[in-house]
Amino acid sequence: MTKAYNSIAQGLKEAIELNLGEKVAAKTYKPEALDVAEIRRNLGLTQMEFAAKFCISVSTLRHWERGDRTPQGPALALLHVVAKEPQAVLRALS
């Protein structure tokens, strides 16, 4: 088997083990949950303004704020940066 195949196979094996709650050798990072409504209010933005500025659908934002859903993956990472450095994100997106 090729080196690339072995690498992919190992990654899939670790992902399955991690999903099953087993310990894996790979380093993982799970950001803490956020209060999206609080982040938005701290910026003084309406839901429409926040969604438009950070490229999030208003519907998704509302689900997050109600607690029906939680941000995952890249959206969660973006919100962590917005919470800590909103102006940097706004500059990057403009």
Summarised one tens digit per residue, pLDDT across range 46-93 is 999 999 999 999 999 999 999 999 999 899 999 999 999 999 999 999
Reply yes or no on whether the pLDDT at 20 is more than 70. yes
The one-letter code for the residue type at 83 is A
Helix/strand/coil (H, E, C) string of 53-64?
A: HCCCCHHHHHHH
Query: Are the beta carbons of 65 and 47 closer than 8 angstroms?
Result: yes
Report how far apart, in Å, the C-alpha atoms of 92 and of each of 18, 54, 87, 89 are.
34, 10, 8, 5
Domain boundaries, the chain: 1-30, 36-93
Q: Does domain 36-93 have CATH number 1.10.260.40?
A: yes
